[in-house]
């Protein structure tokens, strides 16, 4: 059978889309999500004070992303709407990180297979528990794949190098300051040489289990500098 002119096999098409998405993600600055004694810490290298890579989704749930800003911002806004609708229609306790991760997986998978181009994004949905055993980290890639991670998640172009550094230093029950110092050191050394990342180029937030209902808190530059001192 003669193939029509310009035919591309489904396997090759999926491979090309995956390569395209990975290259787009690799161009972005990295983000780290890690557990610490009182919750979950988010650290992103982000010189912009207006465009956030880390945001609150619901009471105990937050969102972190790398890649193309307008695409992951669309996902973030959709997640907030879904969480608000479910919490209003049923009960706030019914809004979970697992539910949101499954919803995002369906959306990203559909976009990857049916749209002209895939989303150039990688995201983490984090939910803080009543204790450390209840903390949950879900990593989602451009094709809708979901991984239930333990301890920490590194995303972005230098994720492998950052993961290697984190594996050497991260442990359960870390203090907030120690976790932040390890995260910044891991981000700074990811390109093969140790850099200095000033506090004003860092975006730092937490899901703090000791806070009342809304657990998300964002840190100012001064607070970041104090924690790193």
d(CA 88, CA 85): 5
Average pLDDT score, the chain: 92
The domain locations on the chain are 25-228
Q: CA–CA distance from 169 to each of 54, 62, 174, 179 (Å)?
A: 23, 24, 10, 9
Q: What is the pLDDT of residues 170-195, one digit of tens each?
A: 999 999 999 999 999 999 987 766 78
Architecture of domain 25-228: 4-Layer Sandwich (3.60)
Bridge partners, 64 (sequence order)? 54, 124
Q: What is the pLDDT of residues 17-57, one digit of tens each?
A: 999 999 998 888 899 999 999 999 999 999 888 899 999 99
Q: What is the pLDDT of residues 78-88, one digit of tens each?
A: 999 999 999 99
Q: Which pLDDT does position 220 carry in this prediction?
A: 95
């Amino acid at each position: 059978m003669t193939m029509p002119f310009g035919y591309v096999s489904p396997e090759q098409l999926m491979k090309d889309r995956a390569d395209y998405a990975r290259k787009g993600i690799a161009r972005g600055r990295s983000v780290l999500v890690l557990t610490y004694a009182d919750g979950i810490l988010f650290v992103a290298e982000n010189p912009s004070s207006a465009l956030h890579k880390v945001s609150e989704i619901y009471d105990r749930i937050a969102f972190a992303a790398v890649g193309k800003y307008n695409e992951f911002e669309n996902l973030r806004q959709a997640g907030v709407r879904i969480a608000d609708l479910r919490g209003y229609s049923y009960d706030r306790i019914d809004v979970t990180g697992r539910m949101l991760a499954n919803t995002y997986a369906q959306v990203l998978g559909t976009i990857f297979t049916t749209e002209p181009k895939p989303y150039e994004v990688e995201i983490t949905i984090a939910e803080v528990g009543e204790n450390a055993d209840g903390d949950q980290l879900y990593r989602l890639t451009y094709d809708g794949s979901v991984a239930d991670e333990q301890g920490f998640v590194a995303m972005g172009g230098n994720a492998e190098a950052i993961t290697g550094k984190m594996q050497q230093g991260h442990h359960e029950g870390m203090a907030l300051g120690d976790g932040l110092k390890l995260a910044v050191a891991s981000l700074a050394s990811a390109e093969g040489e140790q850099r200095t990342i000033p506090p004003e180029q860092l975006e730092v937030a937490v899901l703090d289990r000791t806070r009342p209902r809304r657990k998300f808190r964002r840190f100012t530059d001064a607070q970041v500098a104090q924690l790193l001192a």
